[in-house]
Amino acid sequence: MTKRVLITGAAGRIGSHLASALKDRYSIRVHYHNTVPEIPPVDDVHIADVADYDAIAPALVGMDAVVHMAADPSTRATWETVRDKNIIGAYNVLEAARVAGCQKVIFASTNHVMGMYDRDRQWPIYANQPPRPDSLYGVSKAFGETLGRFYHDQHGMSVICLRIGWFLTEPKDEIGLWMWLSPRDCAQVVWRAIESPIGYGVYYAISRNSRRHWDITETIERLGYKPEDDAEQYAAAILGHG
């Protein structure tokens, strides 16, 4: 049977892409809050504030998996914003998934969980190093990763955290050459995570960029990820060598 997958935050750049890219693979339900497209990519739509448990909980009913994208992604976000949207929201989605019997959660984490390593140019960076967030946004995602660990250990749920790089159609600058995540690689790493039997894990989600500073060995070996794109094809144009 086709798996039923909820995508929260489906109005965002990544969430909207995933809803369209994965709708032929899964039966998709999309979640929106303040921004609702005039023509959603699927008919199954749930509108709610993730910070309101009673509002978001019905979205998890009947789902086999949830890809939790809803959050404020700004590194300048205030404490009040990350508390409500990112921390309370993550708890509400995980708890609602548990209550509904949805055993698979893909948690959209971020490279900003380890951003101080990047600031200090302490490369390469591995997913199993101690977190060093560079912002309250990064702190909120580190919380989500740890919360996912608890839900796996305590409740037996499968929670896979993806530390997403820079999602763009194509890289635009030198930083993008090492942290780019292409749209098709993004869709692939998410469906690989949905299909994975792994109980809990944290993995970097970027394309196979030759200049990458983040290790994706475990993403490849454990999730079966086979990235197709490399930002190096844009290097000459970006760096002015061609």
Q: Which residue is it, tokens 């140019």? A: 121
Q: How far is CA 212 from CA 148, 165, 205, 231, in A?
A: 26, 10, 11, 9
141 closest CA partner among 87, 194, 97:
87
Strand 200-205 relative to strand 166-167: parallel, antiparallel, unpaired?
unpaired
Residues near 230 by beta carbon (within 8 Å), at least 6 away in sequence: 207, 208, 209, 210
Residue 32: active-site member: no
Please confirm whether the linkage preceding 40 is cis (ω < 30° from 0): no
217-226: long-range contacts, CB 8 A cutoff, minimum separation 24: 218/127, 219/189, 222/196, 222/198, 223/160, 223/189, 223/192, 223/193, 223/196, 223/198, 224/192, 224/196, 225/188, 225/189, 225/192, 226/188
214 closest CA partner among 115, 141, 145:
115
First to last CA, the chain: 50
Candidate list 137, 151, 203, 234, residue with the active-site label:
137
112 closest CA partner among 134, 81, 128, 83:
134
Strand 166-167 relative to strand 180-181: parallel, antiparallel, unpaired?
parallel
Tokens of 201: 């894990």
**Residues designated as active site:** 137
